[in-house]
Amino acid sequence: MELHLYDSWERRVRRFDSIQPGRVGMYCCGPTVYDYAHIGNLRTYIFEDLLRRTLEFNGYQVQHVVNITDVGHLVSDGDDGEDKMEKGSRRSGKSAWDIAQYYSAAFMADFRALNLLQPAVWCRATEYLPEQIGFIEELERKGYTYRTADGIYFDTSKQDDYGYMARLDRDALQAGVRVAIGEKRSITDFALWKFSPLETRRQMEWDSPWGRGFPGWHIECSAMSAAHLGSLFDIHCGGEDHIAVHHSNEIAQTQACHGTRLANFWMHGYFLQTGGEKMSKSGGEFLRLQTLLDRDIDPLSYRYLCLSAHYRSQLEFSWDGLHGAAIGLQRLRDAYHRWPQGGQADNAWLQRFHSEINNDLNLPRALALMWELVRSDTDPATRRATLRAMDEVLGLDLDNWLPASIDIPEAVAQLAAKRQAVRASRQWQEADRLREQIRALGFLVEDTADGPALKPALEGARHER
């Protein structure tokens, strides 16, 4: 079955064919570890996890690489402001090295809580300084750099197609400049290496052929991805906000150095919004995954919520929406663990599921199909086996969730059995009366296609909220 994905470079959905048969190289822009990740950031990593799982569902072996930006990312995309690591250090009172370690660990904990598959490689920018310096030296030899008082810059005027993926109008950008750009020749030029300020000693700085300083943000991804995947690999991922600057600059410097656009497919996840605006750290207020845990919300409920919207559409976050996702996930778990084991997955259902995920990761349709399966009259053991196969992509970890052990009093069990008997004889009024008796004893009856299910009334009330 053919796999079709949206390529931001060509701005269309096209058939995916890997460069090397059966193998996929996939690079994902990781976090800048100066603060916690917010749930909007995490939506992008969920999208990338779903992409990887879909590739593996299609039989590919995926070499998945994620970077950790622990130095060199300035506050502004325009190469001004201060380094985010230094800013985080001043805010926390810890060294830049300590906060990088602390927030990296926090990010990894979020990664695990959302059941995201671990990449084959985590690469830290601070561990690849020789590769970054070597990359800049090659750009210098080929005539793409110039020196200013504060660093070594990439000259975008050397490329007629600079910014093609973002469809940038460079003339309009240059004409619209209203702020000083220092010694930069063009508003679109970007730093490859920044010099350490003479009057300030930085915590993270290194010697280089151009003087003591630190790498620009963009060079790290081009250098590290090429180090692990080569100068042209299959898929490069990130958030939609990377298209205009970060990814355009990665492409520009890789074209100059290696003659490729770095990746055959460029794929981007869209924003999570609150109140019509994208969630970001710049405002100082953002929701962490820990915020959900503090409210006794399973992190996988957030993953379920993300499945409900296509990765190329913005998702509006609300607590009501998240509670609805929690209810859906709980009902799915209850059904899955109510069904017997030992069945075989139904190929007809899986073919339909495969068709949806191969249509540019249409997870909302795949989720709807999953519920169609749950409510179908397919044999319960077959339903469980089929859903288990689907969960290889959905990643809801259904196998490893265990229902709470419920001690059903004998009186309640007898009333439930009696009610089932009167329902079979279509005595609906008597069945309703018995339901109320069961409720009075602290339990709820849920009628399912597989028979009645009992649960404590308080738990049911919480799920029906």
363-374 and 319-338 helices, crossing angle to 10°: 40
Pairing of strands 277-278, 272-274: antiparallel
Give phi and psi for 237, each to the nearest 5: -120, 160
For residue 397, what are its two tokens?
A: 């970890």
The whole-angstrom separation of Cα 355 and Cα 298 is 29
pLDDT tens track for 93-151: 888 899 999 999 999 999 999 999 999 999 999 999 999 999 999 999 999 999 999 89
Nearest one of 294, 289, 367, 384 to 328, comparing CA atoms: 367
129-141 and 248-258 helices, crossing angle to 10°: 70
Nearest one of 128, 143, 313, 133 to 227, comparing CA atoms: 128
The whole-angstrom separation of Cα 147 and Cα 158 is 15
Sketch out the chain's domains with CATH numbers.
4-269 (3.40.50.620), 280-400 (1.10.730.10), 410-463 (no CATH)
For residue 179, give the amino acid letter.
V
Give phi and psi for 188, each to the nearest 5: -90, -10
Query: Which residue is listed with tokens 């370690």?
Result: 101
In three-state form (DSSP H/G/I as H, E/B as E, the rest C), the secondary structure along the chain is CCCEEEECCCCEEEECCCCECCEEEEEECCCECCCCCCHHHHHHHHHHHHHHHHHHHCCCEEEEEEEEECCCCECCCCCCCCEHHHHHHHHHCCCHHHHHHHHHHHHHHHHHHCCCCCCCEEEEHHHCHHHHHHHHHHHHHCCCEEECCCEEEECHHHCCCCCCCCCCCHHHHHHCCCCCCCCCCCCCCEEEEEECCCCCCCCCCECCCCCCEEECHHHHHHHHHHHHHCCEEEEEEEEHHHHHHHHHHHHHHHHHHHCCCEEEEEEEECCEEECCEECCCCCCCCCCHHHHHHCCCCHHHHHHHHHCCCCCCCEECCHHHHHHHHHHHHHHHHHHHHCCCCCCCCHHHHHHHHHHHCECCCHHHHHHHHHHHHCCCCCHHHHHHHHHHHHHHHCCCHHHCCCCCCCCCHHHHHHHHHHHHHHHCCCHHHHHHHHHHHHHCCEEEEEECCEEEEEEHHHHHHHCC
Nearest one of 456, 450, 447, 339 to 408, comparing CA atoms: 456
C-alpha count within 13 angstroms, C-beta hemisphere, residue 78: 13
Q: What are the distances in angstroms from CA 163 to CA 143, 155, 168, 255, 388?
A: 19, 13, 5, 12, 43
pLDDT tens track for 5-56: 999 999 999 999 999 999 999 999 999 998 899 999 999 999 999 999 999 9
CB 410 within 8 A of CB 336: no
* Structure confidence at residue 463 (pLDDT): 38
pTM of the model: 0.86
The whole-angstrom separation of Cα 203 and Cα 212 is 12
Q: What is the pLDDT along the chain (465 residues), one digit of tens a residue?
A: 899 999 999 999 999 999 999 999 999 999 999 889 999 999 999 999 999 999 999 999 999 999 999 886 665 556 666 677 777 777 778 888 999 999 999 999 999 999 999 999 999 999 999 999 999 999 999 999 999 998 999 999 999 999 999 998 877 776 555 556 778 899 999 999 999 887 777 788 899 999 999 999 899 999 999 999 999 999 999 999 999 999 999 999 999 999 999 999 999 999 999 877 777 765 556 799 999 999 999 999 999 999 999 999 999 999 999 999 999 999 999 999 989 999 999 999 999 999 999 999 999 999 999 999 999 999 999 999 999 999 999 999 999 987 766 677 888 888 888 898 988 888 988 888 989 998 888 888 877 766 777 777 754 433 333
